[in-house]
Structure formats: structure tokens, C-alpha cells
Amino acid sequence: MSLSDDTATRVDDGPVRKRRSLRSRRPAVLGAVLAVIAVAAVVLVVSAGGGDERPAVRAAGGGPVAGGTLTYALAGTQVSLDPAVAATAVTGLIDRNIFDSLVAQTGPDTFAPWLATKWTVSGDGKTYTFTLREGVTFHDGTPFTAEAVKASLDHVVDPATKSAYAASLIAPYEKSRVVSDHVVEVTLKRPFTPFLQALSVPYLGIQSPAALAKPVADYRPVGTGPFSYVSWEKDKRVTLRKNAGYASPPAGASHEGAAYLDTLVFEFVPEDATRWGALTSGQVQAIAGVPPVNAGKLRSLPGFALNSQETPGLNYNLYLNQTRGPLRDVRVRRALSAAVNVEELVRNIYFGHFPVARNPLSRTTASYDPTAESELASYDPDAARRLLDEAGWTKTDADGYRVKDGKTLTLVWPYWAEGNKEQRDVLAEGIQAQAKQVGIKIERPAVDTGAFVAKYLIGGGYDLVDVSFARPTPDVLRFAFASGNTYAKAGGNVALVDSPQIDRWVEEAAETSDPATADKDYAAVQREVLRQAYVLPLYTPVQLTAFSAKVRGVAFDAQTYPVFHSAWLGD
């Protein structure tokens, strides 16, 4: 459907569709996956008697029980309390329970009311007018009004915030205008179809204006969500408590009132074996990042259950910095791709739990193009050697590494220990070994978070960077490959791609109201980044979450983050 200047889209109560659909190029698996990612519809209930995966049912012998503490062990750690600042999955997961959003995503292109009860979109697609829920209060007692929406969005785009991600989600944002206490008008610089999806994520959760007005040193996260912030012990844990007055869940939530749990604790436990031991010994009731080697054991281990969900958005990919050293030459980039037997490595390390990726975009994401993989330089060591010869790397040193003009073909791939998960370090060792077989030397300097960001992500002193990113929209391709979306500009373009053609495709896809045009543009991006070997896809991240049999009612949102509003502890 195309929009003219005199048309507008109106949204009232209940799940609604965005102005355009992205259903035309969707793999068959997506329909099944969507059945388990709608926040209002999916609840996991864990019951005793062997690990399994099953949809929610009411507990036998009665309904939810109030009270208790649920402790959830995470593989990563918190790096910032402010969702507008940090870009990590841990921040999103924790903050989803502190902050409500204006809308809730219930499908690839459908949204339900949340803090906004209804909204209209102007005919030119640039102005959104939201009518807000009344009677909602922030954890600090501040009333939720249109001023809070304006303050939150302005905070995200303020350069002083130094947003690492959220600002890129609403790049066309121009201003917000308070129409009345419960009506706010948001104006964009240009039409931007992913806007509602962006508003649904925790990184754009609505914050208390009073909290935002405090000095940075005194900042604490204050939202309207089912849990309020208690404390953050750096690198140890974050503790939340029940918001007893909570009454603002998204439309379709399993219940309307306060959370059942009294306390929610997120423990930071980076070691796989330690997390596993904490679960099986009863020290925690749930763990994220179940080691694949242990996942199968849960199916025969009484009293535990495994929840497995493919993550939408960007796969776990290796990005090649095409502005630096040998990787300026596409032949060297394609040689690296051809040197690595991704399928063998992923199969041997992850025991079939993580699908091999052949596209930077997850197969559960709208506009995924399965034909794009034909552009990928598949495993062929002989072809890799020929490409290196063609690129002038014809000599070798005593260790077998390629040499040109007296320089060894060396690629720097920094190792950030705090960000390591899912045995990615083991996978990297396999890639190193296979690259060496064709004469490519990969160095992995170990760095802390500060150096990783300053020297590498911002400074650009790397050749390779590995990352995945969960976001259930193909607009994530703009985040990853648009020239203006470098890390220094709150984006994810770590390959430092600077392609006017890719820029045109992702911008047109974000602005158009025609699904066929968007799908065509997104498909073109997928093909081009594989053809140019800006990215080597590795695997699709799968959220492997294990629960004690006592845990009931955990929901998962569209990004596969667990939500604990309806969680409770049984016997």
C-alpha cells in the first residue's frame, strides 16, 4: 500500500500491523519461530521430569504463587546502567524488566499498545502522534507523561549521552512536541518504516525525566516496568525488586498486575562450567548460554528444562575491515573466506545446536534471502591459494605464511575476554589454524574493554572483528553496513564499508512503503556484502536457556530476551 499526502494510518487498541509488510521473502521456518517470540503470547513453564521444551500451561494444582527470589546467571556482564548508552545483550535483557516501551512487537511487522494506547502516522510517514496510557508512575514517583517520552528520545540522540546503539535506531529523529500531558507528537526528518520496531526495544525504553536530569555520576535506571533497580555490584550482579504498583504491561500480557517474584537477581558468571554447576547444584534457578556440550544432558536430567530459540537479526559474523592492510584487496578477503571450513568447525564445536550461517542475516529475520549465499566464497583451500597468488602474495616465510614486499600477510583480530561467550574463542582458534594452511597469519591480542573500544572499535586498529546482534528487523543491515553507521557514530559498521550503492539500498528500504521494493533492496545488500567479502558468516546464535523445575511463566520477547513479569516459583 502506498501513502499519499492526505492519508494517515491510525492505530487503536490491540495488535496492529505497520504500514507495510515484510512477508514476501520469508523462509518457511519463520512462521514457526514467530510463534515463540511474541511477548504477549509465549510463556515457558518448566516442569520436573527431564529437560524439554514446551509451551506454557497453567501449573498443575493451582495458579501462580507470589513471592520469592529468582537468580539468573548470565554469561556476560553489565557495562552501563543506561539503556541509551550500552549496546550489549546483557543490558537489553536486564533493562527489559525495568523499562516499558511505547509499543510491543508481536510479529515481524505487527505491534501492540503498551505505554502508548494508540497512534497515528501522517500521510508523508514523518509524524507519529502517540496517545499515552494514563495513571502510570515511574519507580521514583514521577508521573508518566508526554514529557517523559520527549525527554527519553531527546536523551538518546543527545551527543553527550554517547549512545553506542540506541541513537542509530532512530537516526531520522528530529524532535518531539508535547501536545498535552498524554499526547506526544514525534517528527522524523524522513519517512522511516522501522520506527515502531525501534521504539519497541529496551534500549529505547521510557525513562523518568527526573532520573535523566541528575548528573551522570548519580544516574540510576528508573522506568515504569515490573521491576525496579536496587543495586549493581560491578562484574558481580544486578538486583531488582518487584514494582508493587505495576499495572502497565503490553496488550495481551498474561496478567495485568504486579510481578509475582519479590526479587530478581542477575549474576554475572562468564565461565560456562561455573554457570552449569550453579544451576545443577541449585545455587541459581536459571542460566543463559547453556554450553552446547551440556544442552543434550538436560533432556535426560530430571528437574530441569531447556529453552532453545534462534536469535533474529545479524548472525554471529566475522567482519573484515576493508580499509586496512591486505584486506583492502577483495581477493584477500575472499581468500580468507575460502580458507575456512565454517560448517565443519560449527558442527564440531556446537554439536548441532547452532545452525551454520551462510548469510549475515538470520534466517528468522524478515527479508532474509536464501539465494544470497551463492555469492559467498565457500570452503576451497586451493581456490584461496590461487586468490592469494593473484593478489601478489606468492612467497612464503619459514613458517608457511605468505609474504609480499617483505611483509607477512598478518591480520589482527583482537580478543575481548569480557565479550567471549558460546566458545567463540575455540571457534577462533579453528579459524586461525585453517587460515594458516593457506598462508594467512591471524594474531589475537588480548585486550580489556577499554582498549577494545578505544584502540580497536573507535581507533580502527584491527583487521577482523566478530560480533552478533539481535534485532527482529532487516533494518539491522543498515546498522551493520551503512557508511554513516560506524561504531564511532553509534552504529555497527565494523567492516567500515563505504559503499554509496549499499547506502542507497538500505535507506530506500527504510523509507519505502512497498514491501517488494524493501525486500529487493535488502536482498541486494545481502548479496553485495557476501560478494565483496566484507563479512564471513559463522553461525546463527541460539538462546539456550536452562531453568530449574521450580521456574514457571517466563516469557520471551521478540528479541528472544526473557521477561519475568509473569514468572513465579513453584514447589
d(CA 564, CA 287): 14
Domain 64-76+225-310+542-570 identical in fold to domain 99-222: no
pLDDT at 460: 86
Cβ neighbors of 428 (< 8 A, separation 6 or more) are 413, 415, 444, 466
- Average pLDDT on 360-389 reads 97
Cβ(4)–Cβ(123) under 8 Å? yes
d(CA 430, CA 424): 10
Q: Give how far the C-alpha of residue 310 lies from the chain's centroid of Cα atoms, to the nearest Å.
A: 11
Question: Which contiguous run of DSSP H or E holds residue 412?
Answer: strand 410-412
d(CA 21, CA 108): 8
Cβ(554)–Cβ(563) under 8 Å? yes
In CATH terms, the superfamily for domain 313-540 is Dipeptide-binding Protein; Domain 3 (3.10.105.10)
In 243-312, DSSP assigns E strands to 263-268, 286-287, 304-310
Cβ(557)–Cβ(96) under 8 Å? yes
CATH number of 99-222: 3.90.76.10
Can you give the pTM of this predicted structure? 0.84
The domains of the chain are located at: 64-76+225-310+542-570, 99-222, 313-540
Grid cell listed for 377? 566464497
Strand order across the 402-404 sheet: 395-396, 402-404, 407-408
pLDDT at 421: 85
In 133-202, DSSP assigns E strands to 173-180, 183-188
pLDDT at 390: 98
Cβ neighbors of 31 (< 8 A, separation 6 or more) are none
Tens of pLDDT along 9-60?
A: 334 444 343 433 333 334 433 333 333 333 333 344 333 333 333 333 334 4
d(CA 529, CA 494): 13
Percent of the chain with pLDDT over 70: 89
- Average pLDDT on 388-398 reads 98
Is 546 a residue whose pLDDT tops 80? yes
Tens of pLDDT along 215-229?
A: 988 999 999 999 999
pLDDT at 26: 41
Neighbours of 121 (CB within 10 A): 21
Tens of pLDDT along 457-513?
A: 888 899 999 999 999 999 999 999 999 988 877 689 999 999 999 999 999 999 998
Cβ(262)–Cβ(69) under 8 Å? yes
Rounded to 10°, the helix 330-339/381-390 angle is: 160
Helix (H, G, I), strand (E, B) or coil at 460: coil
CATH number of 64-76+225-310+542-570: 3.40.190.10
Rg (CA), the chain: 24
d(CA 345, CA 434): 10
CB half-sphere exposure, 292, CA atoms < 13 A: 17
Q: Give how far the C-alpha of residue 10 lies from the chain's centroid of Cα atoms, to the nearest Å.
A: 29
Cβ(63)–Cβ(532) under 8 Å? no
d(CA 425, CA 431): 10
Q: Quick one: DSSP state of residue 167? A: H
Angstrom distances, CA of residue 390 to CA of 329, 386, 393: 10, 6, 7
Q: Please name the amino acid found at residue 570.
A: G
Give alpha helix (H) positions in 213-329.
Answer: 272-280, 292-298
